Structure 1
Amino acid sequence: MSKNILSHLQINRDIPIPLYYQLKTNFIQMINDEILKVGDMLPTENEITEYLNISRPTVRQALTSLAEDGYLIRNRGIGTFISKPKFTDYFFSKLESFNEELINRGNIPRTEVKNLRKIDGIDEINSALNISRKESLLHLERLRFSDETPIVYLDTYLSYKKYKNLQTEDLVNNSLYDLLSKKYHTDVYHAKREIEAVPARADEANYLNIELNQPICLVKSIVYTESEFPVEYSIARYRGDKTKFYVELFRE
């Protein structure tokens, strides 16, 4: 297997592209062409170094970069393996439910509802939802999985007065957006989102099965109807090692 993988590696020293990046691109191409598949073991750093006649730090830089991008898993003393691809979230360019996103990509979604309850209003959230600060909120706490891997820990807030009957609905097997549409004739249309990288707190690390203070992507969203009525306020924590975001921009 190692010899077959090595035969696909090519380095061109006559072009102004760093050698580590060329090597990284070789592996990505093999993954895209399905020459390398999830679980396949890569040749060792020494084998790659000798085959390509490049330095070991160059090889290590390429493999480290691939691991950081989610292509590889490096197990000390065992080897380097092809990882499952990261969950790609396109939510900066289109608005879909979590289940829709995963199903459209061939993954299997699963949801655990950790909490669904009435809580006192929170100034920032009530203001964002354009409701009285004295009004109660419906708090929905969920953990979302892709192929049994925890991907996002999500707190969702809605007006309790308007949507309290959601407490009787099956939010494990049904999309929140579908329920809002069918039960409340409320169709979500667009969202405003902000994202930042933060260290995982203890509860977040526990839910996402990661180390304390490991980087996560914190995403705050306000979802609106077509008439600009705010429906949902959410705080999502995405695993940084399992998620990447896709953004499409246009010049006006």
Structure 2
Amino acid sequence: MFNLKLQFSAILKQRIIDQTYPLNSLLPKEIELAAEFNTSRPTINHAIHNLVQQGFLEQRKRLGTIVKRNKITQEFTHVIQSYNQEMDNKGLKAITKVISFDKINPTSEIQSALNLSTSDSVFKLVRLRYVDTAPIVEVTTYIPTKLVPDLNKIDFSQASLYDELRKRNLPVTHVTRKLEVKKASSTISKTLKIKENDPVFYFHSYGDTKKDQKIEYSIATYRGDLNSFIIDLNIN
């Protein structure tokens, strides 16, 4: 019975994530859901209560159960780890889709970020990250080909960039990030399945190795409705 309750909870959660139940809408009544799933109202009540505790639903007197959107707390602002590792630590299922992976000539912006000359080339890796089938962030990463010439042989829908760099004795040991809040363009809104002009978090990340080599320059666009960020500071 307990597994059955978790199963219905997972189904309702997925419907919230894929917007079958839109944000701020009323969840169908327990009696309706019980009839749909051919189960008892107490089982549905338990599934709903579980999602209330997780922050996906809110119960209001005389109104009903409202659909919320539980934000994913991102910790990469103060921790260097792979996206999959961070999501795994939270018990979330992360999926990565590689949009493109090309070798290009760097623009002046990329040259400056990675300390490159005009004769250098870079790999441009564009990935779309999902959590529970919802697109969360699009990341465009530039890596100097002279440091990792075989990187384009790796399937980054499965592999972690930081893990692959570590295998080549080029671990990222220091990262500088710059955060902006912007309005979603028409292109990124389609990619992240949000509305044009919706707020997005826009990060520039600069990664160095232990030898102070510039090895990574990334631009990440996070959905504003599904992400929040922790800034951890110490006072000396």
> What's 2:43 paired with?
none
Look up the SS of the partner of 1:249 in the other structure. coil
**Shift, 1:128, TM fit:** 1.5
> What's 1:223 paired with?
207
> What's 1:19 paired with?
none
**1:36 counterpart = 2:21:** no
Structure 2 counterpart of 1:141, from 120, 126, 129: 126
> What's 2:225 paired with?
241
Alignment of 1:89-108 (within 5 A): 89-108=74-93
> What's 1:117 paired with?
102
- Consecutive unaligned residues in structure 1, runs of 5 or more: 1-32, 49-77
TM-score in terms of structure 2 length: 0.74
Cα offsets for 1:20-79 (capped at 9, x unmatched): xxxxxxxxxxxxx969345646225xx37xxxxxxxxxxxxxxxxxxxxxxxxxxxxx96
Structure 1 counterpart of 2:141, from 156, 164, 167: 156
> What's 2:34 paired with?
none
- Measured in 1, the distance between the counterparts of 2:111 and 2:149 equals 15
- Measured in 2, the distance between the counterparts of 1:161 and 1:36 equals 51
Alignment of 1:168-187 (within 5 A): 168-182=153-167, 184-187=168-171
Structure 2 counterpart of 1:166, from 139, 147, 151: 151
Structure 1 pair 197–234 and aligned structure 2 pair: CA distance change class (3 A): same
- Measured in 1, the distance between the counterparts of 2:85 and 2:137 equals 15
Look up the SS of the partner of 2:151 in the other structure. helix
**Shift, 1:251, TM fit:** 1.4
Look up the SS of the partner of 2:231 in the other structure. coil
**1:201 counterpart = 2:185:** yes
Moved over 3 A (4+): 37-41
Q: In 1, are the aligned partners of 2:57 and 2:65 still within 8 Å (CA)?
A: no
Give me the identity figure in percent. Answer: 33
Look up the SS of the partner of 1:161 in the other structure. coil
Q: In 2, are the aligned partners of 1:141 and 1:154 still within 8 Å (CA)?
A: yes
Cα offsets for 1:92-142 (capped at 9, x unmatched): 211111001000010001000000001111111112211213311110000
Structure 1 pair 34–233 and aligned structure 2 pair: CA distance change class (3 A): same
- Measured in 2, the distance between the counterparts of 1:115 and 1:159 equals 16
- Measured in 1, the distance between the counterparts of 2:140 and 2:184 equals 15
| Aligned amino acid, residue 244 of structure 1 | S
> What's 2:172 paired with?
188
> What's 2:66 paired with?
80
- Measured in 1, the distance between the counterparts of 2:117 and 2:207 equals 18
**Shift, 1:166, TM fit:** 1.3
Look up the SS of the partner of 2:84 in the other structure. helix
Structure 1 pair 122–37 and aligned structure 2 pair: CA distance change class (3 A): same
Aligned residues: 187
Over the aligned positions, Cα root-mean-square deviation in angstroms equals 2.0
Structure 2 counterpart of 1:127, from 80, 99, 112: 112
- Consecutive unaligned residues in structure 2, runs of 5 or more: 1-48
**Shift, 1:250, TM fit:** 1.2
| Aligned amino acid, residue 67 of structure 2 | F
- Measured in 2, the distance between the counterparts of 1:37 and 1:81 equals 13
TM-score in terms of structure 1 length: 0.69
